[in-house]
């Protein structure tokens, strides 16, 4: 049928049911500018190999630029009969350049190597925007850490009070995984920057076209080594889905804490009005919807990754039409982070921390018991025994409703003769925090160093 990419062998056109199933323009149209960039590069390769004269190349590039402008302003759009973005744009090219010139462009390429390349180009751009959003979030976290020098909070394990820590230390602990996610995106982009173009359907081209020329024209680092791999592999797409889902998971863990901190029971933070929502029935409500949406959307991002991996797992080499299913999940993952990151960053940047409340809770739950044990070790007591003594002090206090610092000197000595009054030096939150001067510890001096190291790592990206 006229307009289709494969008239010759077929007596009739595709059934409407097949057309409806097969169609991908509703989601791959977004690749149109990349498809046209690929076509321009391919035309250059055809010219270099002697299949287009200099004049034809110029007219071809001109026609493709005109088509790109028509796509950009919406005057050229996909129609019902177009199967995918590649077919639609060939139809458009022929409208602009005529069948004689327009019909030459398809030589030596296939939609299989085209689509594998376009997805990479699109995801590379999306990765750049996502990385920018992640950097802004890291900056917002670091600014909150900066604004709360010296503030303490209960550090938790198993969600139970464990040891006091600096608020800034805890906040920066949410920044580091994001720094590693940025590094992951950077490493991924090296792999993504290799071009499948020129692989043809699967076996490579017989026309003497230069795939590395196309790669260069597209700003990619080179051509893939194996044409079958080039058309069949989607590991680069799956890795993008993984990194974006990991970013989602990292946001979700932070979100969960913000949700808890924002409860009346914790009372650690207040959300800015611009970054929280109300209730349609309960006038008093102020809800942490951004954090909840972050937590919820991480499930969606994980779903995109697992759906894509399931699509890939049974596929023989090389191209199979199943691979058309690779796009919607990762397009959605990119879109999801693109809307989520600015809102999340705004929420973090505008959080008010109630440091008095945090400081009040920091020593509760006998969170200084480890400090007592480690103080005893410094006095020469074996740790096993030190742990026993500190545990006995906890029990002594718990039975009497006291905090660890409350017992008198006599009572301390009654628990153990090793517990001299000097132990009181570690029975304050500030003393405890300042004593944790090991590398990566919560002592203010170490946290200041850590902050510098983080800034440096981000600057080096």
Q: Does 321 bind ligand ARG (CB under 6 A)?
A: yes
Q: Does 9 bind ligand ARG (CB under 6 A)?
A: no
CB within 8 Å of 54: residues ≥ 6 apart: 47
CB within 8 Å of 280: residues ≥ 6 apart: none
Residues 441 and 214: their CA atoms lie apart, in Å, by 51
Residues making up the chain, counted from first to last: 461
Q: Does 311 bind ligand ARG (CB under 6 A)?
A: no
Quote the crossing angle between the two packed helices 235-261 and 111-147, to the nearest 10°: 30
Least separation, in Å, of the C-beta of 5 and ligand ARG?
A: 9
Catalytic residue (one of 75, 158, 280, 408) = 158
Q: Does 419 bind ligand ARG (CB under 6 A)?
A: no
Binding-site size for ligand ARG (CB under 6 A) equals 10
Contact 429, 155 (CB under 8 A): no
Least separation, in Å, of the C-beta of 15 and ligand ARG?
A: 16
Q: Which stretch binds ligand ARG (CB under 6 A): 61-69, 180-188, 319-327, 336-344?
A: 319-327
Least separation, in Å, of the C-beta of 148 and ligand ARG?
A: 49
Pair of tokens at residue 116: 């594998």
Q: Does 189 bind ligand ARG (CB under 6 A)?
A: no
User: Is 206 a known active-site residue?
Assistant: no
Q: Does 304 bind ligand ARG (CB under 6 A)?
A: no
**Of residues 86-115, which lie at the interface with ligand ARG (CB under 6 A)?**
111-112, 115
CB within 8 Å of 278: residues ≥ 6 apart: 285, 286, 287
Q: Does 323 bind ligand ARG (CB under 6 A)?
A: yes
Q: Binding string to ligand ARG for residues 10 to 49, with x set by CB under 6 A, is what?
A: --------------x---x---------------------
Least separation, in Å, of the C-beta of 271 and ligand ARG?
A: 42
Catalytic residue (one of 62, 149, 279, 306) = 279
Residues 372 and 407: their CA atoms lie apart, in Å, by 13
* Cis before 19 (ω within 30): no
Can you tell me which of 35, 82, 84, 217 binds ligand ARG, judged by CB under 6 A?
84
Contact 96, 63 (CB under 8 A): yes
Nearer to ligand ARG, 110 or 244 (CB): 110
Q: Which stretch binds ligand ARG (CB under 6 A): 72-80, 128-136, 320-328, 376-384?
A: 320-328
Nearer to ligand ARG, 151 or 323 (CB): 323
CA 196 to chain centre: 25
Contact 418, 444 (CB under 8 A): no
Q: Which stretch binds ligand ARG (CB under 6 A): 37-45, 302-310, 317-325, 354-362?
A: 317-325
Q: Does 117 bind ligand ARG (CB under 6 A)?
A: no
Query: What is the DSSP-derived secondary structure letter of residue 315?
Result: P
Q: Among positive and negative, which fits the CA dihedral 104, 109, 112, 118?
A: negative
Query: What is the DSSP-derived secondary structure letter of residue 416?
Result: -
Helices (H), 148-261: 167-192, 211-217, 227-232, 235-261
Pair of tokens at residue 319: 């191209």
User: Is 161 a known active-site residue?
Assistant: no
Nearer to ligand ARG, 111 or 170 (CB): 111
Contact 348, 148 (CB under 8 A): no
3-state DSSP assignment of residue 166: strand
Binding residues for ligand ARG (CB under 6 A): 24, 28, 84, 111-112, 115, 319, 321, 323-324
Residues assigned a catalytic role:
158, 279
């Amino acid at each position: 049928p006229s307009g289709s990419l494969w008239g010759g062998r077929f007596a009739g056109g595709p059934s409407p049911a097949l057309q409806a199933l097969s169609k991908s323009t509703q989601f791959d149209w977004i690749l149109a500018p990349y498809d046209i960039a690929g076509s321009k590069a391919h035309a250059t390769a055809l010219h270099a190999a002697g299949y287009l004269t200099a004049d034809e190349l110029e007219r071809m590039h001109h026609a493709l630029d005109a088509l790109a402008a028509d796509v950009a302003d919406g005057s050229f759009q996909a129609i019902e009969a177009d199967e995918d973005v590649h077919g639609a744009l060939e139809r458009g090219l022929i409208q602009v350049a005529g069948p004689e010139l327009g019909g030459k462009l398809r030589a030596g390429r296939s939609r299989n190597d085209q689509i594998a390349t376009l997805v990479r180009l699109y995801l590379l751009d999306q990765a750049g925007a996502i990385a920018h959003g992640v950097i802004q979030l890291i900056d917002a976290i670091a600014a909150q850490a900066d604004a709360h020098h010296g503030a303490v909070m209960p550090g938790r394990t198993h969600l139970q009070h464990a040891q006091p820590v600096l608020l800034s230390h805890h906040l920066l602990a949410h920044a580091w995984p994001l720094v590693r996610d940025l590094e992951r995106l950077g490493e991924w982009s090296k792999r993504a920057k290799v071009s499948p173009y020129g692989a043809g359907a699967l076996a490579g081209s017989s026309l003497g076209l230069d795939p590395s020329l196309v790669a260069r024209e597209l700003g990619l680092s080179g051509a893939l080594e194996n044409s079958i791999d080039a058309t069949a592999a989607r590991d680069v797409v799956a890795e993008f889905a993984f990194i974006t889902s990991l970013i989602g998971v990292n946001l979700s863990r932070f979100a969960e804490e913000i949700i808890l901190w924002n409860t009346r029971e914790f009372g650690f933070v207040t959300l800015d009005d611009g970054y929280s929502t109300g209730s349609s029935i309960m006038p008093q409500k102020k809800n942490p919807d951004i954090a909840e949406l972050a937590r919820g959307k991480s499930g969606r991002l994980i779903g995109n990754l697992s759906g894509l991996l399931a699509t890939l797992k049974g596929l023989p080499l090389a191209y199979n039409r199943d691979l058309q299913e690779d796009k919607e999940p990762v397009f959605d993952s990119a879109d999801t982070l693109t809307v989520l990151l600015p809102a999340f960053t705004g929420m973090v940047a505008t959080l008010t921390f109630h440091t008095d409340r945090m400081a009040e809770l920091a020593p509760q739950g006998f969170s200084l018991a480890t400090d007592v044990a480690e103080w005893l070790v410094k006095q020469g007591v074996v740790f096993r025994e030190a742990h026993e003594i500190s545990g006995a002090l906890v029990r002594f206090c718990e039975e009497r409703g006291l905090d660890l610092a409350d017992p008198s000197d006599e009572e301390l000595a009654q628990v153990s003769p090793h517990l001299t009054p000097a132990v009181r030096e570690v029975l304050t939150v500030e003393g405890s925090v300042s004593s944790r001067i090991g590398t990566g510890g919560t002592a203010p001096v170490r946290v200041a160093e850590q902050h510098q190291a983080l800034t440096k790592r981000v600057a080096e990206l």
